[in-house]
A and B are shown apart, each in its own frame.
Chain A
Amino acid sequence: MIADILVSGLVRSGVYAMLALGFGLVFGVGRILNLAHTAFYMLAAYAIFALVGGGLGMPLAALLATLAVAGIGLVLYKLFVEPVRELEATVLLSTLALAVLIQEVCHVLFTADLLFVPPAFPGYTSLAGVRVGHQEVATLVLAVLSLIGVRFVLARTRLGLAIRACAQDREVANLMGMNVNRVTAIVMALGFLLAALAGLAVAPLYPVEPRMWTHPLVIVLAAVVLGGLGSLKGSVIGAVILAFAEVLVVFLVPGGSYLRTAVALLIMVGVFLLRPEGLFGAGIPEER
């Protein structure tokens, strides 16, 4: 039981952390509350379903799906979000409409049925009497690798420096000669890439269906603000906390799957009452 909770919680943590990291990056640099973020995660899951069903091998399918999702995301961003980026409310509605658009495209192409993707790494290992599926391990490894990758890009490269500068102050970054719009577009692509990777990781684990984006969206929003907007470490930790809370509720409370969203959100509101700027929020000085 405890081991099950641990494994399940770790896998969910990994998935939510990848999603929350991408979402947090996009928000930090572009000040875009991207409600379509998890729709791209769903798109990746569908893409991998279609490609594997079309007879491609898993590695090739994964690569193609990731690139395709990032490409589509970037095109949609350039077409519909970038031109209205200055108007906060309009961005909110545009990204929401994008999410619904993607959901409906998937619905029309694949119907609303639950689809199942065959696992890329079948089988399981017994670890101290607990069955741990290879697919779960692969998901976790993917999550850790992508977190380390993002960390490396942000901390050690010139691009990372530019991204951090833009997140800190767009105007000054612009004055220092950075192409702020291009940096934002790159960060959007990075966010879509992370969402696509998360989609790849869950496709073999959970059923794929056109409504699968709403629950992660709520959790990711909660995780990002729980950790504090603008703090990447915070959003990852927030994702881990909420993932474990969700798994605990589902395993321990009878009828808990109805309550899993409610409990995650209750934790978020509870943190807000104590710390209005989130756990690691920098307490961004009054934005003007």
Chain B
Amino acid sequence: MFYLRYFVRYLRNEVFVLPSRSLALAFAVVLAVLPLLTQDAYVLRLVILTALFSLYAASWDLLAGYAGQISLGHALFFGTGAYTTALLSAHLRLPPYVTVPVGAVGATLAGLLVGVPCLRLRRHYLALATLAFPLMLIGLVFMFPGFSGGEGGIWRISRLASSRVQEYYLIVGIAGVLVVSLWKVGSSRLGLIFHAIREDEVAVRASGIDTVRYKLLAFALSGLAAGTAGALYAHFTRIAGPSNLDLFMSFQPIIWTIFGGAATIYGPVAGAFVLYPVLDLLQTVVPKYRMLLFALLILLILRFMPQGVAIWVREAIERACPSCRVRSAAWRKRCRACGAELQP
């Protein structure tokens, strides 16, 4: 009973006072009850894929948005996760609760492997060096078609669960937990160090922080999350092919993240949940002009909200107090923490 009262008070004082937090809570609740409202296979499939892509995008955001290590080859992690899982599942017939963690660990190792040679590189050099790795892996996949399935990819991956609803809760649950933990990492001391590394690496080193270790950590965490997304994706679509590694797969998390707002974690989630359904809708309405309209939409929105949609919305409905930096809803006259006058 005490905990219930505590919980209600927490909700009222910490969540409902800020429109952005209320929105996030409403979003989580909708995701949780969605299968109770509709069992439609198409809707569930769409939400599952969107959740996976938002996890993938959030992992890019941690590495590029927070730590500033812009990676143009994030498909390496996604693809390593997907291929490791697919090989284990199709050749050795291992169950998903073994293959998915192994796939994620494989992607983490890939993150460390790429991270080590890339430590010496800065900014654009780093971005372009990372671009290279998934494309080199594609070359290898094509070279050994007997082992890797070549152009057609690997088929016959086992299903995660027997029914669509079970798959939904499993995948959306894992993605949700990982995204929230990425967000917690981002707002922790670790996230602060990542921010600092992005802003001025020399200054961070000068203040006695071993930047090498933290950059590698960023690569590993990002690889872990992206690899999990890739492994779940392979099990869900039941195929792992070269398209998991190609240039467009590398660019996708960048599209979701920058569209939503970088270095926020909720930005990429918002970006994925706005754009992916739009892309799917365009596919069914005007398949011929799908990508054309998609590209035009991105261009126009970025032209008017260059920081990203999520940040733009947040600025519109919330305001930071000039004296204590606590955020309040935009329609309040006074700051909710210190009572200072808010500028209109």
- A residues near B (Cβ < 8 Å) are 27, 33, 79-80, 83-84, 87, 89-90, 92-94, 96-98, 100-101, 103-105, 107-108, 214, 218, 221-222, 224-225, 229, 255, 258-259, 261-263, 265-266, 268-269, 272-273, 276-278, 286-288
- Kindly provide the distance from the CB of B194 to the nearest chain A CB, expressed in whole angstroms: 15
Chain B 305-323, CB-CB to A under 8 Å as 1, else 0, gives: 0110000000000000000
A–B Cβ pairs within 8 angstroms, 25 of them: A33-B127, A79-B303, A90-B302, A90-B307, A92-B254, A93-B302, A96-B255, A97-B299, A98-B295, A104-B292, A108-B288, A108-B292, A214-B247, A224-B128, A225-B128, A229-B125, A258-B139, A261-B139, A265-B131, A266-B136, A268-B132, A272-B117, A272-B121, A273-B120, A276-B125
Using CB atoms, name the residue of chain A closest to B121: A276
User: In chain A, what residue has the closest Cβ to B130?
Assistant: A269
Which residue from chain B places its CB closest to the CB of A96 in the assembled complex? B251
Most buried by A among B123, B142, B299: B299
Residues of chain B within 8 A (CB-CB) of A100 are 291, 294-295
- CB contact between B306 and one of A84, A103, A276, A286 (< 8 Å): that residue: A84
CB-based nearest B residue for A99: B295
A89 pairs with B121, CB closer than 8 A: no
A83 engages B303 (CB within 8 Å): yes
Instruction: Given contacts A224-B128, A266-B136, list 17 more A-B pairs with CB under 8 A.
Output: A80-B299, A84-B302, A94-B299, A101-B295, A104-B292, A108-B289, A218-B247, A225-B128, A258-B143, A261-B135, A262-B138, A265-B131, A265-B132, A269-B132, A269-B133, A272-B117, A276-B120
Are the C-beta atoms of A101 and B128 separated by less than 8 Å?
A: no
Residue of B nearest to A264 (CB): B132
A277 pairs with B125, CB closer than 8 A? yes
> Chain B interface mostly helix, strand, loop or mixed?
helix
- A259 pairs with B125, CB closer than 8 A: no
Closest to B290 in A: A104
Q: From residue B312, how far is it (CB to closest CB) to chain A in Å? A: 12
Residue of A101, A214, A288 contacting most chain B CB atoms (<10 Å): A101
| Chain A: minimal CB distance from B79 (Å) | 14
Q: How many A-B residue pairs have CB under 8 A?
A: 129
Q: How far is the CB of B230 from chain A (nearest CB, A)?
A: 20
Residues in B neighbouring A101, C-beta threshold 8 A:
292, 295-296, 299
Shortest CB-to-CB span from B326 to chain A, Å, is 27
For the complex formed, measure the closest distance between the CB of B290 and the CB atoms of chain A, giving whole angstroms: 8
Could you say which residues of chain B place their CB within 8 Å of the CB of A288?
200
Interface size on B, residues (CB 8 A): 45
**A92 contacts B247, C-beta separation under 8 Å:** no
Min CB gap B132→A, angstroms: 4
Tell me, in angstroms, the Cα distance from A90 to B306 when the chains sit together. 6
Knowing A218-B131, A262-B140, A266-B132, the reply to whether A273 touches B302 (Cβ < 8 A) is no
Given known contacts A100-B295, A258-B142, A268 and B124 CB-to-CB distance under 8 angstroms: no
Chain B residues within 8 Å of A273, by CB: 117, 120
In the bound complex, how far is the Cα of B142 from the Cα of A90, in angstroms? 34
**Is there contact, CB below 8 Å, between A259 and B139?**
yes
Decide yes or no whether B122 CB sits under 8 A from chain A. yes
A222 touches B298 (CB 8 A): no
Q: Does B202 interact with chain A (Cβ within 8 Å)?
A: yes
- With A221-B128, A262-B138 known to touch, is A93 a contact of B143 (CB < 8 Å)? no
Q: Which residue of A lies closest to B73 (CB)?
A: A265
In the complex, B258 has a CB within 8 A of chain A: yes
User: Which 8 A-B pairs have CB atoms at the shortest separation, nearest pair first?
Assistant: A262-B139, A265-B132, A104-B292, A101-B295, A258-B142, A100-B295, A84-B306, A93-B258
CB neighbours of B128 from chain A (8 A): 221-222, 224-225, 268
Q: A90-B306, A222-B128 are in contact. Are A259 and B299 (CB under 8 A)?
A: no
Q: Which residue of A lies closest to B259 (CB)?
A: A93
Residues of B within 8 A of A278 (CB): 125
**B135 touching A87, Cβ below 8 Å:** no
Q: Smallest Cβ distance from A275 to chain B, in angstroms?
A: 10
Residue B170 CB within 8 A of the other chain: no
Shortest Cβ distance from residue B283 to the other chain A in the assembled complex, whole angstroms: 13
CA distance A288 to B203 in the complex (A): 11
Q: In the complex, what residues of A have CB within 8 A of residue B289's CB?
A: 104, 108
Q: Within residues 82 to 131 of chain B, which ones have a CB less than 8 A from any CB in chain A?
A: 117, 120-125, 127-129, 131
A92 and B258 within 8 A (CB) = yes
